[in-house]
Amino acid sequence: MSLRTRINQWMFHRIHGRTLVFNDCREDPRIDRIALNINADDEIVVITSAGCNALDYLLCGPRRIYAVDINPRQNWLFELKIAGLRTLDFDTFFSFFGRGYLPDAEEHYRKSLRAQLSAPAAEYWDRQIRRFRGQKPSHSFYLTGPCGTFARAINAYIDYVIRKRALVDRLFHAATLEEQRSLYENEARDAFWKPMIRWLVSRDTTMALLGVPLAQRRQLEKDYQGGVAQFIQDAMDAVFTEIPLRDNYFWRVYLYGSYSETYCPEYLTREGFEQLRLDRLDRVSTHSMAVHEFLESHPGKISKFVLLDHMDWLSTHAHPVLIREWQSIVDTAEPNAQILWRSGGLTTDFVERLPVTIEGRSHTVGELLDYQHELARELHAKDRVHTYGSFTIATLRGSPG
């Protein structure tokens, strides 16, 4: 292992092993809903991240959602959201998780939220609830932590270096996609993509802050002409020229530090808030462990798996764990279970070769999966985040004949 690799791994674990990494989910649940076609009989395993998408899936009315994350802080954030849904009025809840700040956050926490939390979550938020105690958008919860620190830097660059905040406002308020595209191509692209930004997004430290492990960066460097910086620029070009910003809450929170009632996840709408607190919250639970650890201890069957992008890291740093994870998926999956995952790379061929055993017979994972390539490509092109190299939809059909 090279010195650079060791330093990168140390830096990534230093950042991600000790902190809440993701303040919001960076996967578009709109395309997940289409891919999964969630119904009332579904039991779903999803990697928690910030919990936003688990709440989105919950609005579809599945029987059960198990939110699993090896980083307990992500589950503690999700617990805080669930506590808010149970105890706060809508306006206060939106101040917490929509705007990301309210001056009396600690008072609401002590009065309403804390009693709803597990002991570890309460201990964590006793120290960290101050992250919501802001006075304005620049003090938002969404601009704290590793990912938030990078977003804060980008906002400072827009406001004080290139001084283009008014142009960002015009992009988000464009009446048509054609107007948005014209603004970006003629005014925004060259103003934003200075050499300093290309240098910044190529740094290992920057990628570590954004939660991108070395394995993902190497895949992009290998697969994508121009490497990481060019991939990010091309992704932004697609977001700002091909996808309407008028409902793109992912980039809204990134470029403003907060959501608005127009730009927000479904759980932050009044309708979503009321529906969740009415009869849905008892259907979701959090589990701070690895995916395979949860599945190996779970007595029931799972019909949907949402694996995000964590296999990129496992494929290069913990391959035996990845094999064990897929064995546990095969062992607990309902017939024709659906599996979604994303990757920083353009392909995930490593999944195909993973060995698993069914009734004493050896197979590769690739022998057991039916892929929906056309639908995945169609949905990936519409992804409002647009920062992953690939999106995969697969059905686990079971043992080949």
pLDDT given at position 13 = 53
Burial of 274 (0-12, 13-18, 19+ CB in 10 A): exposed
pLDDT given at position 7 = 46
Give the CATH number, domain containing residue 95: 3.40.50.150
The answer to whether position 151 is within a domain reads no
Q: Please provide the distance, in angstroms rounded to a whole number, between the alpha carbons at the two ends of the chain.
A: 42
Can you read off the two tokens belonging to residue 34? 């289409």
The answer to whether position 22 is within a domain reads no
pLDDT given at position 283 = 98
Provide the domain count of the chain.
1
Q: What is the dihedral of CA 279, 280, 281, 286, to 10 degrees?
A: 160
Listed residue (141, 188, 139, 181) closest to 166, CA to CA: 188
Q: Which segments in the chain show pLDDT lower than 70?
A: 1-17, 208-211, 213-216, 399-401
The answer to whether position 372 is within a domain reads yes
The answer to whether position 249 is within a domain reads no
The answer to whether position 139 is within a domain reads no
The answer to whether position 103 is within a domain reads yes
The answer to whether position 310 is within a domain reads yes
Threshold 0.75, pTM exceeds: yes
The answer to whether position 80 is within a domain reads yes
pLDDT given at position 200 = 78
Question: What range does the domain containing 342 cover?
Answer: 29-118+264-396
State the Cα–Cα distance between residues 341 and 365, nearest whole angstrom. Answer: 14
215: which residues sit within 8 A by CB, 6+ positions away? 312, 313, 315, 316, 317, 344
